[in-house]
């Protein structure tokens, strides 16, 4: 059996990934509600969502990721600035 001192960092590392990516993908992109299920579509959509997440995350400012995503959908200039970087 592993000692708590060894297991603790492993568990915290897992939750760091969960909180920094999976939770964001579910809350910002509503990943769990996606109904894309056939052939290569799930993998393709996941790749596109991860690319969008990376672009939105690097955008300057203190707005939430959800707000930045909405602004990118509404404002073509903001969207172009994200893609041009």
In this predicted model, what pLDDT tens digit does every residue of 30-53 receive, in sequence order? 888 888 889 999 899 989 999 999
Quick one: pLDDT at residue 26? 85
C-alpha distances in Å from residue 1, one per residue of 4, 5, 6, 13: 9, 12, 10, 19
Closest CA to 74 of 66, 31, 33, 24: 66
Number of structural domains (the chain) is: 1
The DSSP secondary-structure symbol of 18 reads I
Quick one: pLDDT at residue 81? 93
Count CB-CB contacts under 10 A for residue 8: 11
Quick one: pLDDT at residue 2? 66
Quick one: pLDDT at residue 31? 84
Evaluate whether 40 touches 67 at the Cβ level (below 8 Å): no
Residue-range definition of the domain harbouring residue 60: 4-84
Identify the segments of the chain with pLDDT beneath 70. 1-2
This prediction has a pTM of: 0.72
């Amino acid at each position: 059996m592993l000692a708590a001192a060894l297991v603790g960092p492993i568990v915290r590392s897992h939750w760091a990934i969960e909180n920094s990516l999976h939770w964001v993908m579910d809350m910002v992109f509503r990943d769990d509600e996606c109904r894309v299920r056939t052939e290569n579509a799930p993998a393709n959509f996941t790749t596109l969502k991860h690319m969008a997440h990376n672009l939105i995350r690097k955008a300057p400012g203190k707005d939430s990721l959800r707000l930045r995503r909405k602004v990118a959908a509404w404002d073509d200039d903001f969207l172009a600035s994200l893609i041009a970087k």
